[in-house]
Amino acid sequence: MSHAALGHSTDIRGDGTSPGAAIEVVNLVKRFGHNRALNGVSFQVPRGTVFGVIGPNGAGKTTIMRALLDIIRPTSGQATVLGTPSRNAGPDLRRRIGYLPGELVLEGRTSGRRLLQHYADISGPVTAGHVNELAERLGLDLDRPVRKLSKGNKQKLGIVQAFMHQPELLVLDEPTSGLDPLMQQEFLRMVREARNRGQTVFLSSHVISEIQQAADEVAILRDGRIVTINSVEELRTTAIRHLRLVASGIRPTDLAAILGALQGVTTLDCTLTATGDAEAVATLSGAIAPFVQAIGALQVRDLVLEEPDLEESVLKLYSAPVAAAVVTK
Amino acid sequence: MTALQDRPQNVRRAPLPLFGKAFSDSWRGLLGWGVGLAAAAFLYLPIYPSMSGASGMQELLDNLPPELIKTLNYDQIGTGAGYTQATLFGLLGFLLLSIAATGWGAGALGGDEESGQLELTLAHGVTRVQVAMARFFAIAVKILALSALLFLVVLVLNDSAQLEIEVGDLLGTSLIFAGVSLLTASVALLGGALTGRRIGGIAGGTTVAVLGYVFNALGNQSASLEWLHTLSPYYWAFGDSPLSTGANVTTTIVFYAASLVLAAAAAIALRQRDIGV
């Protein structure tokens, strides 16, 4: 499943017509002074797929993306984008990419529409009416001055800017930051539609939930290294969730016995609430179905099963240094 | 994949989009500087007849310490050309245009990178050299526009204020005035391109303008300090009183050529660097 294997060189033919990977990164290293932002990152993104990178702030997500766009130059290693080496790549390559920066800054008195027109002028062409269509989907007013837009609306403008010329490759750094949940869903629909049209999407996040809905594969990045590359399904089974359950008509010890017998339930703590119910707090890893079946017979009064927390679950799982085995050398 | 191939090929695009954007983003500022320059001219020039007549001017000069007179270039102030040079092109106009030039130069690359906006522009279908040069030419056009405005205002006031400036000399002075300002702007551009910070550009531009002025003033004081004139762009521009004797064509060309070279250096510096780190 993993496309991280270093050994086999791909079928990139360097003529821009390669049917192989949309992105091929080989042993990318980036140092800023003494600080190693990227520590030998290798991965491939097949064309027509959605590839997500997750990791905490400072893991190197943004650095990879900037290297793909030739905004920064790697210290060593190579990134090939749509069959062209990204380093010193000309404008023609970047016209085929839609990019949303992680720290999107949009200022000025100019309206959103005029700003988009400017980017269309230098990167386009953009189908007539497509900008309006995208703006309408996201509920974005294009006639307001850019500097008066809220953070969320600036983010929408940035998304429209990246999608509007229907590029072969979308590179989106934390695309949903600042968007409300409804808009996040709309955005994820746009990502899926893009993939269905044959576009490739490379996106990053520090929230696992938004990536798992959209991505085919997910790379986990930490301290400038890829810890693992998994399919979303594989990732989901490894994630740890916090759960809290309140059931009536059962003693805490009995509840503890039922839940404690399940595989993947840890740090279980069952107590008696003030109302005489039994409350269980625990973490759950792996499949949810056995847990749901187990509590089916209970009189459940309250159940909170949190989204898997990346910081706690995935990173904890892979915090051992040996985990690097999947990737690089 | 079919949808990707359906992309339209013939859609109307603005000509010179980078240049146009650099220009249109700042027309309000340009207007403001224009009003300021014109106001400076209307403030100083119409009072020349009353000052030059009779005893007013001489009395003023007698009361000033000679060092100050030399610093302010007031030694020629008895003629219309000398007065216009000392008060407008050499003082308030120079100050205003130097500030504008430094701000534009520092903001064009350094400021834009610092704010984070340059990253997005460079992620589009442009080269860094195109961006740097387009912004340089936009600054050049704005400086020339302000200088042209000053030329027109002085021309309009020439008769009524009894300045008796030759049109050719005024034109040459306006061009060399724009040239020295463009030099300031391009050093600011280079400073911003090298550092990725607005302050780097401001330091560069301010150095050219302020040190140029100070070295000129010090060089005016005594023969032993005259060598400082060779380090002063201000002196290169205004040292031989272009408003009364005509601007030196070679010097004027050197100003523009040097600015172009500095802009090219800024473009190359920008091309080498990691942006926004």
**Lowest-pLDDT choice from A100-109, A170-179, A272-281, B5-14:** B5-14
Higher pLDDT among residues B274 and A240, named by residue: B274
- Please state the rounded mean pLDDT for residues B147-158: 96
Chain A, 13 to 72: residues with Cβ < 8 Å from chain B are 32, 48, 66, 69-72
Q: Which of A94, A124, A158 sits opposite B11 (nearest CB)?
A: A124
In this structure, the answer to whether residues A201 and A302 fall within a common structural domain is no
Domains of chain B: total: 1
Q: Comparing C-alpha atoms, which of A29, A175, A148, A168 is closest to residue A96? A: A168
Contact list in B for residue A165 (CB cut-off 8 A) is: 7
* Mean of all residue pLDDT scores within chain B: 90
The length of chain B, given as a count of residues: 277
- Please state the rounded mean pLDDT for residues A109-131: 89
Distance of alpha carbon B85 from alpha carbon A243, whole angstroms: 80
Query: Chain A: nearest CA to B106, how far in angstroms?
Result: 17
Residue B10: inside a domain: no
Question: CA nearest B273 in A: which residue?
Answer: A72
A165 and chain B in contact, CB less than 8 A: yes
- Please state the rounded mean pLDDT for residues B253-259: 97
Domain of B218? Answer: 16-272
pLDDT at A133: 93
Is A105 within 8 Å of B18 when comparing Cβ atoms?
A: no
- Among A321-325, B184-188, B213-217, B272-276, the range with the most confident prediction by mean pLDDT is B184-188
- Please state the rounded mean pLDDT for residues A94-98: 94
Residue A64: inside a domain: yes
Q: Which of B9, B127, B275 sits opposite A71 (nearest CB)?
A: B275
- Please state the rounded mean pLDDT for residues B138-165: 94
Q: Please, are residues B203 and B41 in contact by the beta-carbon 8 Å criterion?
A: no
Is A101 within 8 Å of B119 when comparing Cβ atoms?
A: yes
* A29, A117, A122: best to mutate for the B interface, most B CBs within 10 A: A122
Is B125 within 8 Å of A122 when comparing Cβ atoms?
A: yes
A161 and chain B in contact, CB less than 8 A: yes
In this structure, the answer to whether residues A90 and A181 fall within a common structural domain is yes
Query: Any residues with CB less than 8 A from the CB of B34 and at least 6 apart, and which?
Result: B145, B146, B149
pLDDT at residue A325 is higher than 90: no
Is A97 within 8 Å of B2 when comparing Cβ atoms?
A: no
Please identify, among A212, A236, A260, the residue that sits at the C-terminal boundary of a domain.
A236
In this structure, the answer to whether residues A69 and A175 fall within a common structural domain is yes
Q: How many CB atoms lie within 10 A of CB A173?
A: 24
- DSSP for B54-113 reads TTHHHHHHHHS-HHHHHHTTGGGTTSHHHHHIIIIIIIIHHHHHHHHHHHHHHIIIIIHH
Residue A318: inside a domain: no
Q: Which of B124, B126, B274 sits opposite A72 (nearest CB)?
A: B274
- Please state the rounded mean pLDDT for residues B10-35: 81
Contact list in A for residue B3 (CB cut-off 8 A) is: 166, 197-198
pLDDT at B14: 66
pLDDT at A1: 40
**pLDDT for B169-226, tens place per residue?**
999 999 999 999 999 999 999 999 999 999 999 999 999 999 999 999 999 888 899 9
- Please state the rounded mean pLDDT for residues A88-102: 92
* B26, B124, B129: best to mutate for the A interface, most A CBs within 10 A: B124
Higher pLDDT among residues B18 and B202, named by residue: B202
Q: Please, are residues B181 and B102 in contact by the beta-carbon 8 Å criterion?
A: no
Q: Please, are residues A241 and A225 in contact by the beta-carbon 8 Å criterion?
A: no
Query: Chain A: nearest CA to B12, how far in angstroms?
Result: 8
In this structure, the answer to whether residues A221 and A256 fall within a common structural domain is no
Residue B11: inside a domain: no
Residue A316: inside a domain: no
Residue B5: inside a domain: no
Contact list in A for residue B274 (CB cut-off 8 A) is: 66, 71-73
A120 and chain B in contact, CB less than 8 A: yes
pLDDT at residue B56 is higher than 50: yes
Contact list in A for residue B28 (CB cut-off 8 A) is: 109
Q: Please, are residues B274 and B193 in contact by the beta-carbon 8 Å criterion?
A: no
Categorize the per-residue pLDDT at B266 as very low, low, confident or very high, splitting at 50, 70 and 90: very high
Please identify, among A186, A216, A236, the residue that sits at the C-terminal boundary of a domain.
A236
A87 and chain B in contact, CB less than 8 A: no
pLDDT at A10: 38
Please identify, among A205, A236, A267, the residue that sits at the C-terminal boundary of a domain.
A236
pLDDT at A318: 57
Residue B245: inside a domain: yes
Categorize the per-residue pLDDT at A127 as very low, low, confident or very high, splitting at 50, 70 and 90: confident
Is A122 within 8 Å of B3 when comparing Cβ atoms?
A: no
In this structure, the answer to whether residues A176 and A82 fall within a common structural domain is yes
Strands A84-85 and A169-172: unpaired
Categorize the per-residue pLDDT at A315 as very low, low, confident or very high, splitting at 50, 70 and 90: low
Question: CA nearest B120 in A: which residue?
Answer: A101
What is the count of residue pairs from A and B with beta carbons less than 8 Å apart?
Answer: 105
Dihedral angle over CA of B251, B255, B258, B264, nearest 10:
-150
In this structure, the answer to whether residues A75 and A192 fall within a common structural domain is yes
Query: Chain B: nearest CA to A69, how far in angstroms?
Result: 6
**pLDDT for A33-49, tens place per residue?**
888 899 999 999 999 99
Distance of alpha carbon A252 from alpha carbon A277, whole angstroms: 8
Contact list in A for residue B124 (CB cut-off 8 A) is: 91, 94-95, 99, 119, 122-123
Distance of alpha carbon B180 from alpha carbon B252, whole angstroms: 8
In this structure, the answer to whether residues A261 and A231 fall within a common structural domain is no
Categorize the per-residue pLDDT at A5 as very low, low, confident or very high, splitting at 50, 70 and 90: very low
Query: Chain B: nearest CA to A63, how far in angstroms?
Result: 9
In this structure, the answer to whether residues A174 and A291 fall within a common structural domain is no
**pLDDT for B72-94, tens place per residue?**
877 778 889 999 999 999 999 99
pLDDT at A311: 55
In this structure, the answer to whether residues A253 and A284 fall within a common structural domain is yes
Query: Chain A: nearest CA to B195, how far in angstroms?
Result: 15
% residues pLDDT > 70 (chain A)? 87
Token pair for B239: 């040292």
- Please state the rounded mean pLDDT for residues B124-153: 96
Q: Comparing C-alpha atoms, which of B142, B141, B209, B143 is closest to residue B174? A: B143
Higher pLDDT among residues A176 and B10, named by residue: A176
Write the CATH number for A70. Answer: 3.40.50.300
Residue A66: inside a domain: yes
% residues pLDDT > 90 (chain A)? 53
In this structure, the answer to whether residues A187 and A58 fall within a common structural domain is yes
- Please state the rounded mean pLDDT for residues A208-219: 82
Contact list in B for residue A109 (CB cut-off 8 A) is: 28
**Lowest-pLDDT choice from A213-217, B98-102, B181-185:** A213-217
pLDDT at residue A326 is higher than 70: no
Residue B3: inside a domain: no
Question: CA nearest B118 in A: which residue?
Answer: A105
* Mean of all residue pLDDT scores within chain A: 84
Contact list in B for residue A92 (CB cut-off 8 A) is: 125
Q: Comparing C-alpha atoms, which of A328, A244, A260 is closest to residue A294? A: A260
Residue A153: inside a domain: no
Write the CATH number for A275. Answer: 3.30.70.260
Residue B9: inside a domain: no
Residue B100: inside a domain: yes
Residue B2: inside a domain: no
pLDDT at residue B3 is higher than 50: no
Residue A16: inside a domain: no
Domain of A273? Answer: 240-307
Contact list in B for residue A69 (CB cut-off 8 A) is: 122-123
pLDDT at residue A329 is higher than 50: no
Categorize the per-residue pLDDT at A7 as very low, low, confident or very high, splitting at 50, 70 and 90: very low
Residue indicated by tokens 């609430």: A273
pLDDT at B172: 96
Q: Please, are residues A87 and B271 in contact by the beta-carbon 8 Å criterion?
A: no
Query: Chain B: nearest CA to A232, how far in angstroms?
Result: 24
Is B17 within 8 Å of A73 when comparing Cβ atoms?
A: no
Is A95 within 8 Å of B17 when comparing Cβ atoms?
A: no
Task: Write down the ipTM of this complex.
Answer: 0.83
% residues pLDDT > 90 (chain B)? 70
What residues form DSSP beta bridges with A202? Answer: A51, A171
Categorize the per-residue pLDDT at A264 as very low, low, confident or very high, splitting at 50, 70 and 90: confident
